[in-house]
Amino acid sequence: MRTERVATPIAFSEADIAAIRFGVDGLAPAIVQDAADGTVLMIGYMDDTALRRTLSSGRSWFWSRSRQEYWCKGETSGDRQWVRGVRYDCDGDALLVTVDQDGAGACHTGARSCFYRAFGEGDGDGDGDGDGGVSVAPAPG
């Protein structure tokens, strides 16, 4: 029996927010990773408001570049993300959001991860079976 997930706000300071270097478009890429197994689920874009909403609400908020509006992941699909942590990189220009993922997955196609296609694979989904359900493992190195 699965327990209901709870949105947990993430503590932050104004100094943390000030450390983020948003691009000329006012956005920073936000990589979303499964907190349980490390799978890269998706990438979205956050501005100052989306980042603050994410931290304050414990849910993933993004700025849609195509629709020019804010969206909370899963509000229409039911594939919600429950934020467990947010980090920023050494340059302050990229975000890493770790989440517990509900539903089928993070991708609007129904796949668990948006990164289900690999170069050099015939069917385009990276595993040869056409289902788009590949987990993304860290690159060797």
pLDDT digits (tens, 9 = 90+) for 102-113: 999 999 999 999
Boundaries of every domain in the chain:
23-128
Least Cα distance to 80 among 116, 111, 104 occurs for 104
Q: What is the CATH number of domain 23-128?
A: 3.10.20.810
CA end-to-end distance (rounded Å), the chain: 39
pLDDT digits (tens, 9 = 90+) for 41-60: 999 999 999 999 999 999 99
